[in-house]
Amino acid sequence: MTTAAAEHRSFEADVSRLLHMMVHSVYSDRDVFLRELISNAADACEKLRYEAIGKPDLLGDESKLAITISADPDAGKLTIADNGIGMSHDEMIEALGTIARSGTRSFMERVATADGKDGAQLIGQFGVGFYSAFMVAEKVEVVSRRAGNTEAWTWSSDGKGEFTVAPAALGEAPTRGTRVTLHLMEDAKTYAERWTLERIVKEQSGHVPVPISLITEPGADAVALSDGAALWTKPKSEITKNEYADFYRGVAGQYDEPAATIHFRAEGLHEYTALTFVPGARPFDLFDADRKGRIKLYVKRIFITGEAELLPRYLRFVRGIVDTADLPLNVSREMIQDSLLLGAIKKGVTNRVIAELAKLAEQDPDTFRVIWENFGVVIKEGLYEDSARREQLLGLARFRTTASGETWRSLKDYVGALKGNQTAIYYIAGDDASRIATSPQLEGFRARGIEVLLLSDPIDSFWASAVPDFEGKPFKSVTQGSADLGLIPLLEGAAPPSAETSEKITALLASIKEILADEVADVRSSDRLTESAVCLVASDIGPDRQFERLLSAAGRVESAAKPILEVNQRHAMVSALASTEDHALRSDVAHLLLDTAHILDGERPAEANAFAERLSRLVTRSLGNG
């Protein structure tokens, strides 16, 4: 509902804070504001193209869409105008007075701590778009008329907490579309100069799919800066690396360099062109709960939607476009979801992206390492979700291991370094990489030089339990079941594991099992411990220790299964305990050993007070004997 009176409104709290930081922060590159405003204008034109498919009258006599930049150096003003879809009264308030996109708070936290060197990257990464205008403008005015409407509206603000929306004089408003006028700050008036504007547009926005022209001063003729030709329609041999990077920044809404560019045309039963990019930095929405992709779908160069599922969710970090002529221009959003053609395109683009990543891993491992460090945690979701491509994804996967230090290792590397008689790929999963690297369960494996994968991402427990093997070698958790290490010889000089169980040790294990009967499923001698006294493992049947914790936290299991307590019978404390006849002492130590095993697993003792009391009794007894 609209009104003829001017409305004075306050920005929502997050917008006010954001504008304050933009105006009062120093950025090394403020040029980004122009790219953001041009991108918004191009989006408005593309939205009109789409709506005009069903309503051709929206175009009226002005069928050629365009973006016009007008400068007034003497007045210190800069205007960016488009004849796209425009905004109604309510749309203007929603678009310019609120931020609905996720990631805003994270963006502001990073801006608050930035030192000025990465401001442009932050703006591009978090897509604050329109609000970047306040980095260079002391006042912003927006006049807009939605296509098909007779009313026009003016929005204005100085970026200090409030904005005004009022009816626009129809004779001064565009017949359709939006006009953004910036009243430039004193130190930003170079943005009204011809050479500055030409440089920025050609560097950052030369390949938006809408023609851009420049009017250098009031009354001057317009000069074409770009023809609106779609970059993806050009032969790859005619496109430079900088042009690809420029297009990537526009389509991805980021300001980094793409780590990989994948541009191809598919011909045959289905014809389409794909131009996709792997970002050089993590997008802010990488871990959004809905896990939506960001590939734009075009039909005959007309933008249809940015929400078609053209890649599986584990490749949601990939940005770009797909353009096909095989779909009707009036395709509905419902038809898109059920389209067999889109299913075929998704399969083709997915296979090509994975194949290109595999090629990159082979030919340029340094670049692939950066990609894996940024997106490996997401790609591994495919190991759990995409059984059809599991082999290819296993080939891409990289891991830190007990033998690799800070170097990433492939499964092919791992299998190539298997020890004699080693029949499995061993791994340990947990939520803290540094802690699991020092887990007692690894001791027997280290003593034999057996490499173990260190899995610290939450998805690792899911895929490792679902993937049967790699090249015939099954995955096996070192925290589950028996270690079965007897056939693999120790490294020279390594301390041997537990020796043959003596009668005293057998009696001790039975005693501990009786004492801890309510808390453990079994107590047994360990062949995986060489230094620590105890550790906890899961039984052969069911999930391993970490997976069980995740399932329990998610409410997927009512109660965790009792663990198995493994004891290092060669440990001095265990040997001493086996020689005592003091049942009270044995009970205290047995419980403390169990609590110690829990702590080493990153857990708390079951009863903190009981743990403290037992420890106090033992220390007092020890000091008294001393």
Sequence ranges of the binding site for ATP: 36, 40, 82, 87, 102-103, 125-130, 178, 333
Token pair, residue 481, equals 């079941």
User: What's the rounded Cα separation, in Å, for the pair 92 and 98?
Assistant: 10
User: What's the rounded Cα separation, in Å, for the pair 498 and 612?
Assistant: 30
SS3 per-residue string spanning 80-115: EEECCCCCCHHHHHHHHHCCCCCCHHHHHHHHHHCC
Amino acid code (one letter) for 597: A
**Contact between 398 and 369 (Cβ < 8 Å):** yes
| Closest C-alpha among 41, 98, 44 to residue 69 | 41
Give me the residues paired with residue 473 across strands. Answer: 470
User: What's the rounded Cα separation, in Å, for the pair 270 and 282?
Assistant: 32
Q: In what order do the strands lie in the sheet with 534-537?
A: 522-525, 564-567, 534-537
Q: 452: which residues sit within 8 A by CB, 6+ positions away?
A: 401, 402, 426, 427, 428, 442, 445, 478
Amino acid code (one letter) for 450: I
Beta strands in 386-432 (DSSP E): 398-401, 409-410, 425-429
| Closest C-alpha among 390, 126, 177, 171 to residue 283 | 126
385 class by beta-carbon count within 10 Å (0-12 exposed, 13-18 middle, 19+ buried): middle
Q: What angle do CA 228, 49, 288 make, to 5 degrees?
A: 90
Token pair, residue 359, equals 């090629």
| Closest C-alpha among 244, 208, 215 to residue 80 | 215
Token pair, residue 427, equals 């791994």
SS3 per-residue string spanning 439-472: CHHHHHHHHCCCCEEEECCHHHHHHHHHCCEECC
| Closest C-alpha among 360, 529, 324, 564 to residue 446 | 529
Residues at the binding site are: 36, 40, 82, 87, 102-103, 125-130, 178, 333
Give me the residues paired with residue 392 across strands. Answer: none
Give the CA-trace dihedral at 133, 134, 139, 142, to 10 degrees: 40
